Structure 1
Amino acid sequence: MSAAELIERRPLSTEWTSHDIVDVVRARGDEPCFTVHVRRVPRAAHRAPLGVVATHSQLEDPPPLEDGHEGAATGDSELLSPGSAPSLSILTCTDATGSEAPMGSPYCDPVTPTRAEQFGSLDSVCAMRPGTASLLVGLDTESVTRNGVRTILSYQLVTIDVVDPSQMVEVVIIPHRDGDRISMVTALWEVVIAAELWRSPLVPDTVTPRGVHRSDFWSEDRKKRRDELARNRVPITLVCHYGQADLTTFREEGLGIESDPLTKLTSAAGGLVTLRPYRLQRGDAHGRWWQSLSVAVRDTMALAPAGKKKLAVLGEACGIPKIELPAGAIGAMDQYRRDHFNEFLEYGVNDAVICLEFLAPIWGEGLVPPITLGGGAAAALVTSGSRYLGVPDSAGFRRAFSGIVKKGKGIGLSDDGGNLTFYAKRGREPLDGAAELFMKASAGAYHGGLNSCPTPGYYSVRTEDIDVQNAYPTAMAMVVDLDWEAGVLGDAPVIQGRELTVEDVPSVSTPFMGWVSFGFPDDVVFPSLPVFDDSTLIYPRSSDGTSGTWAAAPEIWLALQLGATVHCTIGFTGKVLMHEDGTPSRSLRDAVSTLIADRRRARELFGKGSLEEQTLKEAVNTLYGKIAQDVAEQRGWNAWAQEMDDIGGSSITSPYHAAMTTSIVRTLLLATMNEVLANGRRVFSVTTDGFISDMSCHEVESLDLYGMADEVRDARVALTGDARIWEAKGEQNDLLNFTTRGNVSLSPGGVCAHNGLKIPDGIVEDSIEDRQFLFRTVVTRSGRVPNPYTRFPSFQELSRRERRLDFLPSRVQRSVSMDYDLKRKPVMSSMRGENVTLPDGTRWEVATFETEPWDTVEDALRARSIARDIAESACLRTVDQWHDWHLRFAHGRGRRIVTPKRSVLMSILMAHRHGLVTIPTLAATELSLQDRLDWLEGWGLGTVTDGDWKNARRPERIARMLPLDSLQPYLDQMCETPSGEVPTPTNSTLTED
């Protein structure tokens, strides 16, 4: 029967029909019963243009994981009166003139391209779309929480009619008894039946409403019959919004491990997703008919642009406003269902429709979206980068872009934990030994953003909040590619044991990585070489007391411009990949330019602020994150293996590109800050890609940045056609600047950064009430500030097989210090008390002072430790309190009194693991790791474990490594001892106490 005949014979049923089912997965006599409500209605989203996200309330982010979710309440809520009713929004939208869009299916016009087709014609969007067809099903659930128990009230599932795509099939499943939950396979098969999904061309002809008959696939071999049954599947992509709440509502009891959906999921970008589809299979009571599903999961949280993640915002964007409920209904949805059943159905199913319709215009009708928006951006880079680099496929791109090849095609993987997890986890390895050296150096030099509070206190002066325009995309556009194929180190000699000059690092984009020690002149206010310790970046005046740090070219270049002495223990210069015309290859510049051009085109087609334009904006911003994925090794919960595991790199991870990008952004800010102070102005705060200063944005734009500005402007012109680097984000005439990421102005539109402090319920973020709350809290504090918050279980707690938790809130009691974090040294001679008057007339003292670099990292660590001790019972708010801190700092003991053997042992191990020295026996891969560790113990320095071996390579440990000269003569003797030779009293001076 043709589609037209089916549509003609099947009447449109806009009214709900219902029937009862029993979930028979569990072979017991009290299987839970459910009522299934079904209807088929016109698709609302296809009767209207997509909206533009515009209002302030719509731009807010959704609550983070520890905050609430719809349907969850911590206790009994206000009872609803029988007369309460929702405010039902009309599901059609109007165009810009106020006229209602015409009814009808968009499939009737074969000439005019749909919105999705227009968007999909853009090069970057085409590359971002995976292109895999599937049957998409929107999911939402309603629940109520009372007395610590979550009761599921309904499951809403919606899908597009496979015969008439202008129609939506809506299914609502309601348990008969409180506490009953349905299995995912039962719920999804109800959708298969209601929407006649077996008619889809994606489904084999063997599939019927009852499933697949045993005769079509059976084999006595269990694996063979399971695999054959899997080929007779219905391919479904389940789409939800914040899956932590919805995907945890399905029953797992009575199901085998292989049928537990939660163990197939991964936490990503704020939602829950699958990395690949999983099977759901079951047979009837007689084993004659079998139902087979292939299920992928996508979460709109991972696909929505930043700041646009609330479901109401997504609904506005796709032309389906979220339905408003009367006050108190969310916390008492069971009563609302009882008293307003039809409205309850409309409300719940509308949320599921939003989840589904949000995807179509962006990722294509009936196509699986990427796992995350960042994943889509990575796919776009692979496509554009392959074209730019002249390689045929993704494997060729990885080889040319990051020097990574498939396992067995390169240098080989070691079995001693010496591999970088970003490639080892994905079954890849460096192209050759030179590539491995350069990657490890780059990974060591990779750090996060620059964040600091150089001028704490209270200031009644005009200041501006100034940002780098597209900071990370601009920096990516400055990074040159390397010639991995020709040997990434090329003909440049490895630098060893000498001072660096500007000839070694002639520009900010020179591809150089080195292990350096340094000293800056006393008049340099902002040194540029960071040391990672105490979970943060510290910029000391010198590296005295440490063995040094890995650093990338941009910050080394600036250090040399500032007159620093930089000694390089070992350094590598990468060979630049050149075009035939003699210009350097910059594949990231090409990729980012394409994304920005397509975003500009999307703005022309769909309007500024449209979903399409915002999606491409977010793609540009997330690209860097995928390049840096797992460069700083990270671990996450593997639900299938039920253990913490390395997350692994992305398809575009490159330690070199990541390290250069972040270093360029930090260097740009540090160069600017030094020149601002050289011009007699001040920098009050710096945060990742911008800063607060009493210099205007116009004045900042004129700075030369020690010669760096021209190179940055060249990248800006290549990306946007506009050479301007900076943009003003706001201004204020008052500033309470108390710590890193902590400052507030009472001026509307001024800065308001909370330092992690939660806003009380009922206060709108950035409102005058919010500003007054934060201001008062900081200036009146006498110690740590109470900061309780509501927390929901982690993904690990939700998906573990033993002691699994339900998605229920708990209250966490904690407090937070609002004291200055001492990343820089207070200048005590500049300290003064500013008296701040609150609206109630009370006056409070706030210590206000300048800062300077710490002389050494050790000084910074000791100062921060003293401040943490003080914060346990008091705070650092007044001048007297700061004088007390200074007294303890000035007369306290140092961190190191002696150099114990354990410190020597671990420092030697770190030096070897970071490639600063080569100890033959430790490098002998023909020996087992245990044999090498036993050899090291033979030197009499103490015991060493597998964990010590692994941890010695971690970047946060390297700052604790002793200077190399303090490891002598032990280090030289180890390096000179032939591989495998056992230490003896003649070649070891460490066996004696």
Structure 2
Amino acid sequence: MHKSSFANTFTFKIEPDEQGGATKTVSINRHNIAGPPDPGEIKKKAVSAHLLIGFDTEYQTIKDRENQYAIEYGAQNDLLSYQFSIKLFDKNDLGQHPEAEGIVIPEADQRLSMEEFIGFAIGSLIEKHPEIILPTSIYLLGHFIRADLPAFSDFKEKARQGMSNIRSTFVTLKNAIPIRFSVGENEIAEFKVNIRDTILLSPANAKSLADIGEMLGFQKIQLGATQQEDKQIKQNMAKFRAERWPEFREYGIRDAQVCVRYAERVITQSDILFKAFKMPTTLTSFGTKLVLEGWKTAKQDALGILGREKVKERKFSQKLGYFITTTSTPYMEEVFYEEAFITETYHGGRNEQFLFGVADIGQWRDHDLSSAYTTAMSLIGLPDWRNLVNINSLDGIQPTDLTYVSVDFEFPDHVRFPSLPVRTSSGIIFPRKGHSKCAAAEIFLAIQLGAKLRFRRGVKVPFDAETKVFRDFIRTSIQNRNQHEKGSFDNLFWKEVGNSTYGKTAQGLRAKRVYNLNADDMESLPESKITQPYFASFITSYTRAVLGEMLNSFSQAVQVFSVTTDGFLSNADDVEVERATSGPLFRSFAQARKELDQSSEPLEVKHTVQRPIGWRTRGSATLVPGIGSNGIVLQKGGIKTDAFNDTVEENAEVVRLFLNRKPDQKIRYKSGIGIKDMMRNDTDFVYRSVSKRLSMEFDWKRVPIGEKEIDFEFEGQQYTHLTFETAPVETVAGFDHVRDAWEKYNKTGHHNLKTLADFRNFDVFQTALKIPGEKAALYLKKVDGDLHRLKRDLCRAFQHHQAGFDLIRSKNRVTHGYFRNALNHAGIPCEITDVENAKRKEFHPYQTPGTETVRQALAKLKQDYFPELDIGLFLPEDAMEKIQKSSEALAA
């Protein structure tokens, strides 16, 4: 294997030994390389040609190295092959672009350097096209290239030399990596290698290489006759190479070819849109640049739109030894002073699980607001930042205003889905009352729902409603998308460009730490070129408000299963949906959508299932699928499953986990190591086995109601599982109490919520924590602890003539037997010995958990037997309002 520095001839094996072990020798010649441009033209002449080299490897993970020990000490995969597809892509040559492809079989425990691999690829192209003239600009391309780059023997050196990391993969940014070859006596040819990962340039719904290939017209290569066989082959590629070499070679090279074809499309798109014949690092960068270019074309001040201004500052440079002038673009003073407050009004999407367990069988439809965030963006008018003002009331507030407020609130009891967000350490929740910071749309909705609001402070930005700053960009993206066949490159490209740009307005607003390869340290994710907290807050608040209006427009007969960012799953029929889409907020959304795209429906049905199951925020699956390809709803809630599973298999695996889960159960899965570990430990991209506790219990962001057990069948087996609907939490304090109680309840051993008994035991525990005194809750029995405590305290009060028993027993003679019978009739198990033994201990008030079972028992005891009973002396103070309702219900 060739190992000399600055070589120009490369010899490598192109077949495995069992296939003959053939080798191939190629060379790089001086006459095939374009000469450097004249020094005076370097800055004038843009690059018009690139060598595109698609790169992929096949490897076998060594099983006994899938552990932390190996990762810490340089774990390596068993490398089977390097494959490439190389193509000259010249914008000035409209004919067929020369290309070649090939494969290299490395010797055992030996690896190619980046120079050797690229040299062999270039030499193979020259061999096929001897008269070719090559540019010195190279794009080295891979899909999830983080898994393949470590196959180079000099990977770590090259990474430190010129690579950066974006979204957990490797790229080059400002500086290319130089690769040199000897092409004559004392003559060196230098190529500049830029690294790109096509996964960063793929649309959100086409992230796999197979998806990209299909988008470009490449048929997916199926290795096995069935899905299961295909999975088994991919898990043992060494055996596949040995037994089916031609198919192995075709499969390996195909991935490299797809990367090259995709790069051509992306570079062409960049050239068409920006007159820049180059490959950006991410697809989202297209959107940001198009927004800025659009403002420039419309002769609008981009900095002014974003609330920024250009500031020049003259300062002395210690390094240079003289004064220099620097330019920065900070927020305008008026915008800057309120930035912290506005950022506090920015929250993410509304994500809640409204039903825990198994839903009824029926038609459950997953409705989504069409392009919710981009539609909301299109409503933002041109801000007049210089006239930003503080307001002193909520008078006249409208949903599309750039107004941001802080309010205390309380929603009426009949509101099923309170709509004002409150940030907690566990994410945002929507309590019945509390304090919220948000934008205008949610305040508008709260007023419509009859909430009591106490204004605290507010900021309003005047704007020109006729000049929508994002509308032209979004409309153009939609028009371009609609001109192309669904699923095609152009269709998905423009869909992603439009939909992904919202995220750039919010980038950097909330602290997020990411690894920086160059600094070998963690750092905060920086802002984007269009980060604007006022815009991000408006967009998310408006979207949550439209959803909130719809949810609260449904009749009580409609069950809403969950809500996720821009959609919800419910059993609402068409009549109910029509009612829910008749409010002012949805009408404004629908109007904005029509102005962007006449052919678009503002509300779409994404999935239809017959029976979903759910457990917590972003945790749901399908027990009984619907008909067709959209008949499964699946949100794994952080659960990792087999990467080779299809949707049906994945859903079934998650359902089985939920139904058969046990306390302290752990799941094991393989997780690829991150860039930080790869760099610091000099390892390949290897998978390590991770053990994680299975977490599929309720998240308590809502209050359970109507708890029951449901019998059902799954995969031929009978199951029974706890199920409940939910109501809003009253306050953040109440939410914090239950979350804290759940943590304490699971401190010495975890618990499931699978039966009514499971639920009741925790309910007793969390209720007991409200009892005054640190030790009051410590001695409750594990089962029916609330009723045991109630029996104890009633017997003590009875024996010591307290809590109203002084009046009761002074009027009538109450025997121990009568008292025991009264308790049993009220649902409080009691024996004569319990009554007699109570003489030994004093009665202490407020020591009984105020559970629903206790409240009902006390209410019945008071109504049917002892009217003078002072039940307030048994319960914590916050339980009295509830017991009064129980008494009223019994009387009714």
Same fold (TM over 0.5): yes
The equivalent residue for 1:21 is 2
1:404 partnered with 2:315 = no
Matched, 1:537 2:428: yes
Measure the CA separation in 1 of the matches of 2:586 and 2:61: 57
Whether 1:294 aligns to 2:192 is yes
Q: Distance in 2 between the 1:81 and 1:143 partners?
A: 17
**Offset of residue 372 of structure 1:** 1.4
What is the rounded CA distance, in whole Å, between the counterparts of 2:383 and 2:104 in structure 1? 59
Query: Can you list the C-alpha shifts for 1:379-416, whole angstroms capped at 9, x where unaligned?
Result: 2222223334x23xxxx42x132123456479x9xxxx
Q: 1:432-443 counterparts in 2 under 5 A?
A: 432-443=332-343
Instruction: Give the 3 Å change call, closer, same or farther, for CA 770–594 of structure 1 in structure 2.
Output: same
Partner of 1:649: 527
> Could you tell me whether the CA contact under 8 Å between 1:514 and 1:551 is conserved in 2?
yes
Q: Decide whether aligned partners of structure 1 residues 281 and 385 sit closer, same or farther in structure 2, where only a CA change above 3 A counts.
A: same
- SS for the counterpart of 1:351 is helix
CA distance in 2, matches of 1:143, 1:526: 52
Structure 2 unaligned blocks of 5 or more: 21-45, 66-75, 272-276, 316-325, 775-892
**How far off its partner does 1:731 sit?**
2.8
* Shift in CA distance, 538/330, structure 1 to aligned 2, threshold 3 Å: closer
Partner of 2:454: 567
* 2:297 corresponds to which of 387, 395, 403: 387
Aligned to 1:482: 383
176 and 387 in structure 1: CA distance in 2 versus 1, 3 angstrom threshold: closer
Does structure 1 residue 153 correspond to structure 2 residue 80?
Answer: yes
SS in 2 for 1:810: strand
Change (3 A) 1:386 1:33: closer
Q: 1:202 to 1:173 in 2, by over 3 A?
A: closer
Cα distance in 2, alignment partners of residues 655 and 895 from structure 1: 44
> How many Å apart are 1:715 and its aligned residue?
0.2
- Counterpart position of 1:318: 216
8 A contact 1:790–1:810 mirrored in 2: yes
| Deviation, structure 1 residue 632 | 1.8
Change (3 A) 1:430 1:810: same
Give yes or no for the alignment of 1:445 onto 2:345. Answer: yes
Distance 2:256 2:721 in 1: 53
Shift of 1:180: 1.9
8 A contact 1:783–1:817 mirrored in 2: no
- Greater strand fraction, Structure 1 or Structure 2: 2
Moved more, 651-660 or 140-149: 140-149
Query: Which string of whole-angstrom CA distances, capped at 9 and with x for unpartnered residues, describes residues 704-728 of structure 1?
Result: 6652233112201111125843222
Displacement, 1:589?
1.8
Whole-angstrom CA distance in 1 between matches of 2:177 and 2:719 = 66
The correspondence of residues 594-993 of structure 1 with structure 2, limited to 5 A, is 594-602=476-484, 607-677=485-555, 680-697=557-574, 699-703=576-580, 706-721=583-598, 724-743=601-620, 744-748=622-626, 749-759=631-641, 763-765=645-647, 767=648, 770-783=650-663, 785-798=665-678, 800=679, 802-827=680-705, 830-848=706-724, 850-871=725-746, 872-893=749-770
Mean Cα deviation higher: 736-745 or 709-718:
736-745
Instruction: Give the conservation status (yes or no) of the 8 Å contact 1:469–1:725.
Output: yes
* Paired AA for residue 728 in structure 2: P
Percent of aligned pairs with the same amino acid:
26
- Give the alignment partner of residue 253 of structure 2, picking from 346, 349, 352: 349
Query: Which deviates the most, 710-719 or 748-757?
Result: 748-757
How far off is 1:890 after superposition?
2.0
Amino acid at match of 1:792: G
Q: Distance in 2 between matches of 1:834 and 1:824?
A: 20
Secondary structure, aligned partner of 1:280 = strand
Structure 1 residues 550 and 244: CA distance shift in structure 2, 3 A: same
Query: Which runs of no fewer than 5 residues in structure 1 stay unpaired?
Result: 1-19, 27-31, 39-78, 84-129, 204-233, 413-425, 898-993
Give the match for residue 394 of structure 2.
501
Q: What's the secondary structure of 2:12's corresponding residue?
A: strand
CA contact (8 A) 1:158 1:353 kept: yes
Query: Counterpart in 2 of 1:248?
Result: 150
Count of equivalent residues: 703
Inter-CA distance 260–750: structure 2 relative to 1 (3 Å threshold): closer
1:92 corresponds in structure 2 to none
Instruction: Find the counterpart in structure 2 of residue 274 from structure 1.
Output: 172
Instruction: Report the secondary structure of 1:858's partner residue.
Output: helix
In 1, are the aligned partners of 2:49 and 2:89 still within 8 Å (CA)? no
Distance 1:474 1:137 in 2: 39
Would you say the 8 A contact 1:472–1:662 is kept in 2? yes
Tell me whether 194-203 or 270-279 shows the greater mean CA deviation. 194-203
Name the CA shift for 1:675/1:278 in 2 (closer, same or farther; >3 Å).
same
Cα separation, 1, equivalents of 2:403 and 2:646: 47
Task: Rate the CA distance shift 1:717–1:402 in 2: closer, same or farther, 3 A.
Answer: same
Q: How far apart, in 1, do the equivalents of 2:596 and 2:475 lie?
A: 5
Contact 1:528 1:670 (8 Å CA) reproduced: yes
**Deviation by residue 1:504-553 (Cα, 9 ceiling, x = unmatched):** x2x1111112333333333332222212112311112222xxxx443222
1:692: how far off? 1.7
Distance 1:406 1:276, change over 3 A: farther
Q: 1:529 to 1:784 in 2, by over 3 A?
A: farther
| Structure 2 residue aligned with 1:307 | 205
Aligned to 1:91: none
Q: Is residue 833–residue 879 contact of structure 1 (8 Å, CA) maintained in 2? A: yes
**Larger RCO: 1 or 2 (CA < 8 Å, sep 6+):** 1
2:141 and 2:198 in contact (8 A); partners too:
yes
Structure of greater Rg: 2
Matched, 1:136 2:52: yes
Which of 430, 439, 446 pairs up with 1:552?
439
Provide the C-alpha distance between the structure 2 equivalents of 1:836 and 1:476, rounded to a whole number of angstroms: 45
The equivalent of 1:361 in structure 2 is 265
* Residue of structure 2 in register with 1:587 after alignment: 469
Distance 1:132 1:636 in 2: 35
AA in 2 matched with 1:474? T
For the residue of structure 1 that corresponds to 2:658, the secondary structure is helix
SS at match of 2:681: coil
| Residues in 1 aligned to 2:259 and 2:574: alpha-carbon distance in whole angstroms | 41
Letter in 1 for 2:513: R
Cα distance, 1:142–1:33 mapped onto 2, change above 3 Å: farther
Task: State whether residues 789 and 811 of structure 1, in contact with CA within 8 Å, keep that contact through their aligned partners in structure 2.
Answer: yes
Change (3 A) 1:661 1:707: same
Could you tell me which residue of structure 1 aligns to residue 30 of structure 2? none
Once the 2 structures are TM-superposed, how far is the Cα of residue 588 of structure 1 from its aligned partner?
1.5
What residue is the counterpart of 1:35 in the other structure?
Answer: 12
Whole-Å Cα distance in 2 between the matches of residues 368 and 198 of structure 1? 26
Scaled by the length of structure 2, the TM-score of the pair is 0.72
Q: Does the CA-based 8 Å contact 2:508-2:526 persist in structure 1? A: yes
Aligned mates of 2:341, 2:771 — CA distance in 1: 31
Q: 1:167 to 1:321 in 2, by over 3 A?
A: farther
CA deviation after TM superposition for structure 1 residue 291, in Å: 3.9
Counterpart secondary structure, 2:151: coil
Paired residues of 2:372 and 2:566 also in contact (CA < 8 A) = yes
1:795: how far off?
1.7
- Aligned with 1:441: secondary structure? helix
Structure 2 counterparts to residues 218-257 of structure 1, below 5 A:
234-252=136-154
Matched with 1:228 is none
Contact 2:89–2:264 under 8 Å retained in 1: no
Distance in 2 of aligned mates of 1:355 and 1:404: 39
Distance 1:893 1:670 in 2: 32
Which region of structure 1 is more displaced relative to structure 2, 368-377 or 427-436? Answer: 427-436
Q: CA deviation at 1:860?
A: 0.6
Aligned residues of 2:50 and 2:138 also touching (Cα < 8 A): yes
Deviations 1:156-189 (CA, angstroms, capped at 9, x unpaired): 2332246985254335463653222222233324
